[in-house]
């Protein structure tokens, strides 16, 4: 066991798809663009609390394929219905000092083996950095 | 203001009530009669936020569960302005002015491109 902080795994390719699960609740997504009416993730989908606790939870497409799980497995996991939004590893690394690691969720069964975290180079990054990353991911994330 | 649901404990409800009041103070300081409505919701962690997003621009004001607060402006995902403030204090003049101007310009564009934008906020 080591206390070293892991925040990016360079073996994870930049174009790889990451899937963020959000509760199917109106407070997590909303038709906020009054020009297009398009749905978009909001600040509630990437809270500073979750980032400062351990990182933002994601599932990695390559590991999902490897372990035979699908987006439908993400949607049906947990206690309440979820929906899946996707972005790429490069969208995270676009922000200096931000990256992606694999971190199995032992309680998540086969799906848990595809689990990872979006993290920053510091365990408790400053809010400006979290918000910079969040703004980029909200701009890039699309529903899957 | 959209109803905000406080989850969990009594103490979290008290904090959220405080956050709602502080958010309203900020909105009163920067909004105008023709301003586009923000989307307002709880963040699921005991805080509350207001957000505008149109034509690639996103403006957000967040009061967190510990009653810390910040505002940011981003264009096509790039953060162009970030400001932390004490929501117990009046928003500093320069920052309030900046938010007022950006929101006003944002609202002018939205009103020009979609004069019917209010309908999007009434659909079930």
Domain spans of chain A?
Answer: 17-143
ipTM: 0.88
One pLDDT digit (tens) per residue for chain A, 144 residues = 457 999 999 999 999 999 999 888 766 676 668 888 788 899 999 999 999 999 999 999 999 999 999 999 999 988 888 899 999 999 999 999 999 999 999 999 999 999 999 999 999 999 999 999 999 999 999 999
pLDDT at B8 over 50: no
* Segment 15-74 of chain B within 8 Å of chain A by CB: 36, 39, 41-45, 47, 49, 51-56, 58, 60, 62, 64-65, 68, 70, 72, 74
Which among A32, A132, A140 has the least Cβ separation from residue B39?
A: A32
Domain spans of chain B?
Answer: 10-121
Query: Which residues is B78 bridged to in the sheet?
Result: B75
User: A46: closest CA among A127, A122, A138?
Assistant: A138
Residue B1 at interface with chain A, using a CB cutoff of 8 Å: no
* pTM, to two decimals: 0.89
Q: Which residues of B touch A139 (CB under 8 A)?
A: 56, 58, 74, 76-77
Instruction: Name, in order, each residue with C-beta under 8 angstroms of A87's C-beta and a sequence gap of 6 or more.
Output: A17, A18, A20, A137, A140, A141, A142
Task: State the average pLDDT for chain B.
Answer: 85
């Amino acid at each position: 066991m080591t206390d070293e902080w892991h925040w990016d795994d360079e073996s994870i390719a930049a174009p790889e798809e990451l899937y963020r699960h959000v509760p199917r609740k109106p407070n997590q997504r909303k038709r906020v663009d009054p020009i297009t009416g398009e749905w978009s993730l909001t600040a509630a989908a990437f809270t500073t609390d979750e980032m400062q606790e351990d990182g933002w939870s994601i599932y990695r497409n390559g590991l999902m394929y490897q372990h035979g799980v699908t987006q439908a497995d993400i949607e049906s996991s947990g206690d309440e219905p979820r929906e899946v939004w996707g972005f790429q590893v490069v969208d995270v690394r676009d922000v200096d000092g931000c990256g992606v690691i694999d971190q199995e969720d032992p309680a998540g069964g086969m799906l848990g083996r595809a689990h990872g975290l979006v993290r920053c180079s510091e365990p408790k990054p400053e809010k400006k950095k979290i918000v910079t990353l969040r703004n980029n991911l909200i701009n890039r994330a699309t529903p899957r | 203001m959209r109803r905000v649901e406080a989850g969990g404990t009594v103490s979290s409800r008290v904090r959220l009530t405080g956050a709602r009041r502080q958010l309203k103070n900020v909105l009163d300081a920067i909004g105008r009669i023709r301003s586009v409505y923000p989307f307002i919701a709880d963040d699921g962690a005991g805080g509350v936020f207001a957000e505008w997003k149109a034509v690639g621009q996103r403006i957000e004001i967040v009061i967190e569960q510990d009653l810390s607060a910040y505002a940011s402006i981003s264009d096509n995902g790039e953060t162009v302005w970030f400001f932390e403030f004490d929501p117990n204090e009046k928003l500093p003049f320069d920052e309030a002015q900046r938010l007022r101007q950006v929101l006003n310009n944002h609202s002018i564009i939205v009103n020009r491109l979609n004069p019917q934008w209010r309908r999007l906020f009434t659909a079930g």
